């Protein structure tokens, strides 16, 4: 799939609104609610529009944002940290949210714009998934598309499926890490973790 074939947030969505609305009505009825009462009458349509937004990355190729590359005299680490994101757990369809930290070592001075790293996180976040997969997709995309010497991605997130239900531990965070290339070396990993104050 080329970048030209990939739809962005402003283009027609692939979410089937009619099916979502029908499903939401059925769920409301199944829990004993009246989907036609005043407060819920427009809820199915609202949920369908929300799904178009929060799942807008599902049918997009995250590589598209890395097409802009530059040659600079820089072969040291590039780190963008504290990138906020919201995603959805595929097990309960509840949100998880937090911050992503993305680092890479350029090869031969080939870099991408700093905002592209934040955009990459945003696209990958907007789909139902588990945090581990999100971490790996970001790392693999950077490694493959930038041909980086090394890549390291750390994600810290709070999962509502752990805080508002089940074990009910508000404030608990899950940390996942994906390392590629040079950052599979523990000494280099520690360098990044120190920069993130996680070491």
CATH code of the domain containing 185: 3.30.1130.10
Q: Is 143 a catalytic residue?
A: no
* C-alpha span between 43 and 11 (Å, rounded): 23
Q: Which of 21, 89, 101, 189 is catalytic?
A: 89
| In-domain check, residue 163 | yes
pLDDT of residue 12: 65
Q: Which of 53, 91, 132, 190 is catalytic?
A: 91
Are residues 96 and 39 located together in one domain of the fold?
A: no
Show Cβ contacts of residue 77 under 8 Å, excluding neighbours closer than 6 positions.
103, 104, 105, 191, 192
Are residues 104 and 190 located together in one domain of the fold?
A: yes
Show Cβ contacts of residue 66 under 8 Å, excluding neighbours closer than 6 positions.
112, 116, 120, 141, 142, 145, 146
CB 111 within 8 A of CB 74: yes
Are residues 45 and 112 located together in one domain of the fold?
A: no
| In-domain check, residue 171 | yes
Report helix, strand or coil for 83: strand
Q: Which of 33, 52, 156, 161 is catalytic?
A: 161
Q: Is 59 a catalytic residue?
A: no
* C-alpha span between 88 and 56 (Å, rounded): 12
Check whether 161 is labelled as a binding-site residue: yes
| In-domain check, residue 23 | yes
Segment 61-77 shows an average pLDDT of: 93
Are residues 105 and 147 located together in one domain of the fold?
A: yes
158 vs 130, 171, 178, CA distance in Å?
12, 7, 18
Q: Is 184 a catalytic residue?
A: no
Segment 22-29 shows an average pLDDT of: 98
| In-domain check, residue 59 | no
| In-domain check, residue 32 | yes
5 pLDDT higher than 60: no
Are residues 152 and 83 located together in one domain of the fold?
A: yes
pLDDT of residue 115: 96
Q: Which of 101, 129, 131, 143 is catalytic?
A: 131
Domain, as residue range, for 93: 65-195
| In-domain check, residue 18 | yes
Q: Is 71 a catalytic residue?
A: no
Question: Average model confidence (pLDDT) for the chain?
Answer: 93
DSSP 15-31: S-HHHHHHHHHHHHHHT
Instruction: Quote the number of domains for the chain.
Output: 2
| pLDDT tens sequence across 124-140 | 999 999 999 999 999 99
| In-domain check, residue 94 | yes
Q: Which of 90, 132, 184, 190 is catalytic?
A: 90
Check whether 89 is labelled as a binding-site residue: yes
Q: Is 89 a catalytic residue?
A: yes
| In-domain check, residue 11 | yes
Q: Is 161 a catalytic residue?
A: yes
Segment 78-96 shows an average pLDDT of: 98
Segment 181-186 shows an average pLDDT of: 96
Q: Is 18 a catalytic residue?
A: no
Q: Looking at residue 43, which CATH number applies to its domain?
A: 1.10.286.10
Are residues 130 and 188 located together in one domain of the fold?
A: yes
């Amino acid at each position: 799939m080329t970048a030209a074939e990939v739809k962005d947030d402003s283009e027609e969505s692939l979410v089937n609104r009619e099916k979502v609305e029908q499903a939401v009505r059925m769920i409301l009825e199944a829990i004993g609610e009246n989907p036609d009462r005043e407060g819920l009458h427009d809820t199915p349509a609202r949920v369908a529009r929300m799904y178009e937004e929060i799942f807008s990355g599902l049918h997009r190729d995250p590589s598209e944002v890395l097409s802009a590359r530059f040659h600079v005299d820089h072969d040291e680490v590039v780190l963008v940290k504290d990138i906020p994101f919201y995603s959805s757990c595929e097990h309960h369809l509840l949100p998880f949210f937090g911050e992503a930290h993305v680092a890479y070592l350029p090869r031969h001075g080939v870099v991408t714009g700093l905002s592209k790293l934040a955009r990459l996180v945003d696209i990958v976040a907007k789909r139902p998934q588990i945090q581990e997969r999100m971490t790996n997709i970001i790392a693999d995309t950077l490694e493959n598309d930038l041909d980086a010497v090394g890549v390291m991605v750390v994600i810290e997130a709070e999962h509502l499926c752990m805080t508002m239900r089940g074990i009910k531990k508000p404030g608990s965070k899950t940390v996942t890490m994906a390392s590629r290339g040079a950052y599979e070396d523990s000494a280099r990993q520690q360098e990044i973790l120190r920069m993130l104050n996680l070491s």
